[in-house]
Structure 1
Amino acid sequence: MAEDNLTHVMQFILLGFSDLPNLQGFFFEISFVIYLSILIGNGLLIVIIKINPALHTPMYFFLGNFSFLEMCYTSVTLPRMLTDLWSQKRTISLVECAVQVCFLYILGAAECLVLAVMAYDHYVAICKPLYYPLIMNPTACVQLIVTFWVVGVPVMIEEIYQIFSLNFCGSNKINHIFCDSSPLFQLACGDTYNIEVYIHVVALIFILIPFVLIVASYVKIISTILKLPSTSGRSKAFPTCSSHLMLVSLFYGSGSIVYLWPKSSQSAASGKVLALFYTTVTPMFNPLIYSLRNKDVIATLGKLLPQSHRS
């Protein structure tokens, strides 16, 4: 017993899709294409917002930040997964695992908060248009983004400290595609109940509160739109919100599939597929949603493509 207590896991093995050896090449190719499309799509959207003065508004300021977060979020998991699929090594140190979980949670919480502020921006623009320049001024927008990091980062670091203060003295095989709290708890020695409760409370704060704010904003927005006297006013107001609503539906919909799906009816393989879906679907479709539904974005993209072709 004394010897077991002194033996602590300092390195994990991410099993990923190792149980499907014949599909390793396919998983690598599809993951590489998805990751490349996420980087190119979101990066191009950031460039378009930067170079087009018509898009220098609070809404697109937050959209640019959200696209940057999406690129960082997928970069926490996909490059590591691609390396494991290519090399078949699959090992990750305790410190690397902690860093991965830390950035995953910090960026995920920041995305929830940015989506909530984007909804609030739409609410002010539609429900209080006369006060919009005063409320959503450039200084206020920057302060909101800084606040996300000031509030979120310390809380998430404390959360990661709680998770990795556990002793991992049994198996070192994580049956997942990346490090996450749920598979790590299965490898921990001793009672994890209090820490799991703490993790879920923090998750509710950073996920549920922004979602409630989004719903409340759109209740006000919809009631205001319905009161508009002309159909032309409604047709102008609705497209402004529809892209954001699609983004929120993808983000929270895919997240709900992963975290609210009954664990008893979820196999390890389906859990991995759902996690991959959750970490890639919103980042991949974000640029398409805002590009295909916005004339200014399409016009700027049309100007960029001929220039790049001539060069």
Structure 2
Amino acid sequence: MAEKDFVVSADGHIVEPTDLFLTRLPKHLRDRAFWEEDFEIEPLVEGGVRDFRRLRTPGFEGWTVSRYRHFDGSPNTGDPERIVEDMDLDGIDAQLLHPNRSLFALYSDDHELSMAHARAYNDYIIERFTPYFGRIVPTAPIPITVVGEAVAEIERVAAGGFRAILLPAMAPQPYYSTDYEPIWAAARANGVHVFFHCATGGVKVSEEKSPTLLAVMGMAEELNRPMDSRLASKRMMTQCVYNTINPGQVIIELVAGGVAERYPELHFGLIEFNAHWLVSLVGAMDKCWVTGIGQDADWWLGYWDDTRPA
């Protein structure tokens, strides 16, 4: 009998209860809690969607999507029992699961607010998902605006059974910064893997619309326009060039900053960034490290100073 492949899904999301943070944040922060509002409308077209979910959080206020549903029409509740049921149906042995739309509230420039959301989410996962940790591997979001508190949360979630942490793709400081050294040390000491998910970080609570929201709404607007040469070019530039900058920057900062060399035990994963760009990136990194910009010992480039001493 042929040995079955061990199949892992790396980019699942846990659909949080809509009132999770309204009930779990410290009381003085609940008026700024992330929450989602469910509502129904008459379909705009025959057979169209009725059920929608609207976000309530700084930077993404009002962003609305149709509610997730299973193929049988039942709502996707995010219950671990249903997740495992679907995994069995699809032949998935293990699944890495990240926060869902609460990702947009977990990495802002308001550290107290972000960390309160992270702790509430991590507590919920420990309470609800621990019996399923054998097959479901949730990532624990860790805001890193205050490094000491980030380290404490890494230690806490690892003690609670987490085996992976989730850091923002757009960090407050470059990942080569030595300020983050305690975070890498804590991840290694506690045996957790480190993941980065697209469209995380960079939220300023004072801004009505975050850069991520503006980008997503721009893409949505493009989808509803007739295709022409300008739009085709813009879409290709976005997908082929602009969207590769952030993940490439994370990799370069970890490698050039020596993080991967100092902590070889750590495993890093980038989620939902595609991978078509990876080969050219690594090739260019190798070339840059070996030959710089292409110079050699017999080739010189610079300004000639006629006033220099003879």
Structure with more relative contact order (C-alpha pairs < 8 Å, separation 6 or more) = 1
Q: TM-score range by the shorter chain?
A: under 0.3
Provide the TM-score with structure 2 as the length reference: 0.24
Name the structure with the higher strand share.
2
TM-score under structure 1 length normalisation = 0.24
